[in-house]
Structure 1
């Protein structure tokens, strides 16, 4: 068969089937990609407000988003990502674009470079926005494939916690680590109910449990990443992302985790 006819045949038959399969599996991605053609309103083609959000609220909400962006810019030493922001007013809107009814925000990145931060207007604040933007920034710096297949979920979430002050308000590296270690001791009952990093490496492992499991996973990730940053600093984070993007494994770029966290715990000593 003529090569051109093969290509034409693919676009006529194979492509619609592929797109239909993707929509069935990930409908939220398609809804996000088509946000400009929805009933959400935007004045800049960047921030989209759900029906029911008054125009008088736009300025305040945009100001909150800008403050979160400034936090990303400072932490990552120059913000490189530029996700579209979708602000939902109702749980139904949030579920449509986030594919979830839980939380105040979520983030979506695609292999072709599009990225979105979906927010629940009722619960959004600087911390929530900065947390979700951190996920997108990491995707941008390291690459979609390398991030989704090579970076464990505990690191992704732990790094996002460094910009999220809902659990630990300290911003200096040493005090932030101490605060996360304190929280970790509380949720693990001083290490008796600890979660090992290897057991929270995937999305399913990290979020696949009750509220206490998820909080313990967050505090474990926050403690580990805050300790790593205490020793490696901003320059270390930049090197890590560059090495990951250039093809290094996570273990090569990150180095050993901090076993000192679990010193004295009953499970480790056993």
Structure 2
């Protein structure tokens, strides 16, 4: 009260204080406005860059503004009749059950985009090949794009596996720390288009048969290091890509058979605790191999003249 009374009695002091406050506030306001402009420009540039470099992500984000019909997190092409919606939902539900079983509980909840023609598929997937693809983003928006003409549980499960691994380990770790052969090999464990056996040991034998066919009896081998990146994995023609798939399927099924029933869960736990891929991968196999009842034939990818497993 004394201070207030004194200020009222002396207008000069009151005026000088107001001027001082105004002088102090102006630089702060300018700084805030400048910072806000920088953020706005940065966001605009980032959004524009994403739209230019990765238009499929941009289109996927805007799917709710398209002419696609939505039912929950599933978006259907306008050419797909509503009578077919329950069939697609059933296929997705079966795929979710596979993911839930293999990953010891499903965590992901991607948006599904069901296309009816090649033009739509290319728009949202940025590719004309395959029956499905998956898109994961650092900010947590995940999408599974499917071509209705080749829609089945195997395709959906394969793409959902990629998204689930991303959810379990995080976008950064899955993108930069996990080799592509492991990502694809894991997805093949839920995809029965090439090998139908669900037992890891028997599945290894069947993948070895496929591998021997595509390598012409082991004469044209792809090392794991050669297919550790997306570019390396999908480089070459159709036969080369199929060999990459069969190589990853054989290695991962062999590893799962040796790691045992809890090996995959232990591997993910080790990765989430900060271990490198190689450390977690080798540790899970070593701990599981102690209780291995059936001896498996040696993995040809691990012969002495082959390169070691690499990140």
TM-score higher than 0.5 here? yes
> 1:65, 1:126 within 8 Å by CA — same for their partners in 2?
yes
Matched position secondary structure for 1:86: strand
Between the aligned partners of 2:241 and 2:302, the Cα distance in structure 1 is 23
Residue number among 84, 94, 101 corresponding to 2:128 in the alignment: 101
Does 1 or 2 have the higher relative contact order (CA < 8 Å, sep 6+)? Answer: 1
How far 1:223 sits from its partner (Å)? 0.3
How far 1:260 sits from its partner (Å)? 3.3
The equivalent of 1:38 in structure 2 is: 66
Residue number among 20, 32, 52 corresponding to 1:4 in the alignment: 32
**TM-score of the two chains, using structure 2 as the length reference:** 0.82
Residue number among 8, 15, 39 corresponding to 2:43 in the alignment: 15
How far 1:259 sits from its partner (Å)? 11
Between the aligned partners of 1:225 and 1:263, the Cα distance in structure 2 is 11
Q: How does 1:145-184 map onto structure 2 within 5 Å? A: 145-184=172-211
Distance 1:259 1:146, change over 3 A: farther
Query: 182-191 vs 151-160, which deviates more?
Result: 182-191
> 2:254, 2:299 within 8 Å by CA — same for their partners in 1?
no
Unaligned runs of 5+ in 1: none
Matched position secondary structure for 1:171: coil
Equivalent pairs counted in the alignment come to 267
> 2:186, 2:249 within 8 Å by CA — same for their partners in 1?
yes
How far 1:264 sits from its partner (Å)? 11
How far 1:233 sits from its partner (Å)? 2.4
Distance 1:214 1:263, change over 3 A: closer
Q: Do residues 27 (structure 1) and 55 (structure 2) align?
A: yes
Distance 1:107 1:13, change over 3 A: same
How far 1:263 sits from its partner (Å)? 7.5
